[in-house]
Structure 1
Amino acid sequence: MTRITRRRLLAGVAAASLPVALPAEAAGLDDVSIVRMLIDAHKAAVGRWDDLAVVWPDEESVALWEKLSAEKDDAAAAVCFYRPTTIEGVHAKAEYIFGCEDFVDQEANDDWTRAELVSGFLPPVMGT
């Protein structure tokens, strides 16, 4: 198990200091609604990916799997790196992330470091 050190945490914060591109539908929404919208988008992407019945090595199936995988990864990145601006947004995001194996099952995947997950709850690094 990798320990979270100050250096790793700060490196994760620096890596995640870029703003997340939000969908156009987020315009005018409050923070909690944005968090819920991102969560719903991730759940939908995971559902489409899970429902895919692939007969390998059909090229069309491989292309669809790659497309759905990219959608799922993009939706997960939006959830991970969006920084809620309210305590309610933090709670909604934390409840979802820490109950979703895409984020917390570190032995099943290596998509997210703990530092990256934590950095999505911290304010941006000053000067970025």
Structure 2
Amino acid sequence: MSTAHRIHDDHGAVSLEVILIAPAVLIVLALTMGFARVGQANMNVDSAAYAAARAASISRTPGEASGSAREAAQDVLTQKGLDCPADIAVDTSAFNSAPGESGAITVTVTCPVPLGDLAVPGLPGTRTVTGEGSSVLDRYRGRQ
């Protein structure tokens, strides 16, 4: 075999290309999965917050509103498959408004989303997503 023939020999080039490109492709794929997971979690947490605000706004008392909001938020998170220790804050100050005055119930749902299983360098172990929902309290509602 001549020297000129060995210079143009491509044996092993494909294996080398795969070894060099595969880690980059895997990192891009894992990052895409991470962004998709956070995006889906954002939508689910927003949905839970709006459902909680609606459930609270049709309640008669602040205590009942808080309980209904927490239950509705947890139900939505469970239905959506988002298993996280959610922090659910319910602002029921609108119940203190005088009859005829408008007000809104606001619910904030905060949920840490795990990303550690994706094993991407530089990607945090969890990402906290927050959703907020408001629902108008009926100004002419009956009071207890």
Q: Same fold (TM over 0.5)?
A: no
Q: Which bracket does the TM-score occupy, shorter chain normalised?
A: 0.3 to 0.5
Write 1 or 2 for the structure with the bigger share of strand.
2
Write 1 or 2 for the structure with the bigger share of helix.
1
Larger radius of gyration: 2
Identify the structure with bigger relative contact order (alpha carbons < 8 Å, sequence gap 6+).
1
Give the alignment's TM-score, normalised by structure 1: 0.33
